[in-house]
Structure 1
């Protein structure tokens, strides 16, 4: 068994400073032990000559000393402190780094423009299956835009404006008007025009990182009564960005502070950040923004823990491994067997259900996670599995597919599945409910076919006999207990799928 390691990742951003403690179990499998944040607005302390006055670093030093003590108290094996635009662009950046090292004992790394873009890209690629698009990371003092094709970086650029320094210049009192909004757009558009490649890929989606985009998602979800408590992979249409700027742009700071979902430390810088996002969307020709809850810190972690291969080849499989690890569930032959049989049943019955790859991915996740709720209470684990799947960070699925996976995993009967479905009708249709019930029944069958926990069934093939499916089981020994358990599902299965359960058994020894 691989000994776990603890990594302390400190992100010295232009707006806030964050610490994340990752307990790494190997191959990028991890859990977050602790996370802390301090809003310092370092970029706001930059003097007119471009320097970051050393006598303005006291709050940062105190924060870093505290973060280092947290790492030491938790016996961290390694600490990486990475500084971005505010330190990188300071005229006295070397002096700043040395002052921080002397006061805190931390070796401060300055992320270059390319480093910052790459870290964000790695963080996103390990949490999304998207193959082509743009990334935009709106920080406090800079904005990075990256073009990627086939999950590889093609081009990237860093612009010297972010939510904090843009607000400081164009909205110093936290309020904006038509003139200041126009000035921000002109400033951003002028700099975007210096990079011709930004206009050469219209139609590609824009993935947004950073507090501006996440706050926009939270506000939008609050207003619409969105049923899923997740912002990662949430899509925000361009029209919603327009409407939010129109709503907030004429508000005073006091009015913004009353908005549900808007944190006090972001109220004065949100609108300038949104205008930067709006201008970028329109400039590159994207119709929506996809919210990413991962970015630089996750990228630094993966490059530290997995330097030879920081980007996973299979986002969904990697994510289900992380969730089962976090639940304290050891690798299980039974779960592996149920998963394998469920996917064989899905593929073998494709001509009967005609479901797409999205449904297959939901079944994939459900078959890996259907017992995860047993970490809370074995006797009510289906309900806990549903909650876990819809509230944890399950990467590699759209929001609709996440809820579908939760319904499949927790399925114990159509009535209970419908009751859970009713809370998510903003994401699912009646057709999705039928899919969840059908695949839930399929997962129940797969679990029944390993009732003896003996891996007796090596393969399931679907043949046609008398116009109905026949499940041909290749077995290492007679699966009597498994077939007895499976046949108890026969009536419900027939009602759901429209045909009875029928099996043919073939024994195959010596494998």
Structure 2
């Protein structure tokens, strides 16, 4: 059995410094043991000559020593500290790194523009199944925009503006007006125009990472009473960016501090950051902004854990394996069999349900995770499964697909499914509920067809006989228990699918 390793990843940003401790089980399977953040605003300590005075590093040194002590307390195997724009662009960056090494014992590596774009790209691609789009990472002292096609970087650029230094330059008192908003847009637009490729791919989504975009998501979800407690993969239309800027721009700093969901350490810099995002969305002609909960730190982790192949090949499968690992649930032959039979039934009945790849992806996740709730309580595991799937981050699915998958996995009857659905009517329709019930019933049938836990059903072939489906079970033994268990579902299945269960058995 492979011994788990503990990695400490420290991200020294222009606004904040973060530590994430990853317990790594191999192949990028991990759980976060601890995370810590200190807002230092290193970019504000840069002198007029472009240097970062060594006597201004005390707060950073104190934070790094604290983070190092946390790593030592957890007996971390490896610590990797990466610095971005504030230190990278300092005219005395080598002296800064040397001083930090002397004072903290930590070797700081400086991520150049290409490194920073690559780390962010890996962190996002391993958590989103999106083939083409833009990435925008609005940091404290710089912003990176990356174009990717077929999950490969095509172009990337780093701009010398972020939420903190833009705020310091244009809104030093934390208050915005029409003139300052206009000046920020002109500044960003002028630099965007120097990169012609930014305008050449209208209609692609723009994935946003960093505190500005995450805060926007939290504010938007608070205002709308959003039912899913997840920001990762949340979609924000451009109109919402406009409305949020209009709402906050006229507020005083004291008023902003009272806004639900807006942290004090971001209240004075959020609007300038949002204007940068707004300008980028409009300049590129992006179709929507998709929030990423992952970025540079995750990219550094994957490059450290899997240096030969940091990019995962199947985002949804990888996320499911992480979720099972974190729940302490081992995949069994029974779950594998139910998963296989569920997809066979879905594919074989395509002509009857006519559902697309999105529904199949939800069933794929549901049939892998339907027993994850047993890690809490066997007797009530369906409701715990629903909670796991809607509260843990399930990468590779849209929010609607996540709730659909949870309804399928936890389905034990129409009434209970409807009660769970009612809490998520902002994401699902009545048609979605019908889909969840139909596929939940299909998952129950697949479970029944392995009642003896012997994986007797090798294959299911569905034929049309007398105008209705006939399910031919190709078996390696007598499926008496399986047929008996399936028979108990016959009434519910007929009411849901509109036809009766009929089986033939062959070896």
Question: Which residue number corresponds to residue 262 of structure 1?
Answer: 262
Q: What's 2:91 paired with?
A: 91
Query: How do 1:492-511 residues align onto structure 2 when only pairs under 5 Å count?
Result: 492-507=492-507
- Deviation of residue 287 (structure 1)? 3.1
Distance 2:334 2:10 in 1: 39
- Measure how far apart 1:75 and its partner are: 1.4
Corresponding position of 2:54: 54
Mapped partners of 2:306, 2:141: distance in 1? 29
| Cα distance in 2 for residues equivalent to 1:185 and 1:47 | 25
Q: Distance in 2 between matches of 1:265 and 1:36?
A: 15
| 2:294 counterpart of 1:294 | yes
CA–CA separation in structure 1 for the residues paired with 2:227 and 2:256: 24
Q: What SS does structure 2 have at the residue aligned with 1:227?
A: coil
Q: Which residue of 1 aligns with 2:3?
A: 3
- Give the Cα separation in 2 of the matches to 1:154 and 1:338: 40
Partner in structure 1 of residue 22 of structure 2: 22
Query: 1:221 matched to which residue of 2?
Result: 221
CA distance in 2, matches of 1:3, 1:484: 44
1:306 alignment partner in structure 2: 306
Match of 1:456 in 2: 456
1:112-165 C-alpha deviation (Å, 9 max, x unpaired): 100000000001101111111100000000000000001000000000100000
Q: CA deviation at 1:192?
A: 0.7
- Determine the structure 2 residue equivalent to 1:427: 427
Note the C-alpha offset of 1:432. 0.2
Which residue number corresponds to residue 236 of structure 1?
Answer: 236
**C-alpha distance after superposition, 1:376-414 (max 9, x if no partner):** 111111111111100101000001000000100100000
What whole-Å deviation, never above 9, does each CA across 1:77-130 have from its counterpart, x for those lacking one?
Answer: 111000000010011100000011111111101001000000000011011111
CA deviation after TM superposition for structure 1 residue 341, in Å: 0.6
Q: Show CA shifts across 1:470-511 (max 9, x none).
A: 11111111111111111111110110011111111112xxxx
TM-score by length of 1: 0.98
CA–CA distance in structure 1, aligned partners of residues 35 and 451 of structure 2: 41
**Cα distance in structure 2, aligned partners of 1:251 and 1:181:** 14
Aligned to 1:104: 104
Q: Secondary structure at the match of 1:118?
A: helix
Moved more, 356-365 or 281-290: 281-290
- In the other structure, the counterpart of 1:202 is 202
Report what 1:347 is aligned to.
Answer: 347
SS at match of 1:459: strand
- 1:331 offset after TM fit, Å? 2.4
**Structure 1 segments unaligned to the other structure (5+ residues):** none
Question: What is the 5 A alignment of 1:367-406?
Answer: 367-406=367-406
Find the aligned partners of 1:325 and 1:466 in 2 and give their Cα distance. 46
- Give the distance between the partners of 2:164 and 2:209, measured in 1 at CA: 15
Partner of 1:282: 282
CA distance in 2, matches of 1:459, 1:130: 32
1:179 has 2:186 as partner: no
- 1:60 is displaced (CA, Å) by 0.7
* Structure 1 residue matching 2:495: 3-state secondary structure: helix
> SS of the residue aligned with 1:458?
strand
Give the Cα–Cα distance (whole angstroms) in 2 for the partners of residues 501 and 494 of structure 1. Answer: 7
Counterpart of 2:154 in structure 1 is 154
Equivalence for 2:72: 72
Q: Which residue number in structure 1 is paired with residue 327 of structure 2?
A: 327
- Structure 1 window deviating more from structure 2 (261-270 vs 65-74): it is 65-74
Cα distance in 1, alignment partners of residues 446 and 143 from structure 2: 49
CA distance, structure 2, for counterparts of residue 259 and residue 427 of structure 1: 25
1:32 matches 2:46: no
Provide runs of 4+ in structure 1 moved above 4 Å. none
Equivalence for 2:163: 163
Match of 2:485 in 1: 485
Tell me, which stretches of 5 or more residues in structure 2 are unaligned?
none
SS in 2 for 1:297: helix
Deviations 1:173-209 (A, max 9, x none): 1110000001100111111111111111111111100
| Matched residue, 1:140 | 140
How many angstroms apart in 2 are the aligned matches of 1:333 and 1:12?
45
**In structure 2, the residue corresponding to 1:158 is in which secondary structure?**
strand
TM-superposed deviation, 1:332:
1.2
- Partners of 2:460 and 2:361 in 1: CA distance: 19
Alpha-carbon separation, structure 2, partners of 1:101 and 1:244: 42
* Partner SS, residue 423 of structure 2: helix
Superposed CA RMSD: 0.7
Q: Provide the C-alpha distance between the structure 2 equivalents of 1:448 and 1:60, rounded to a whole number of angstroms.
A: 59
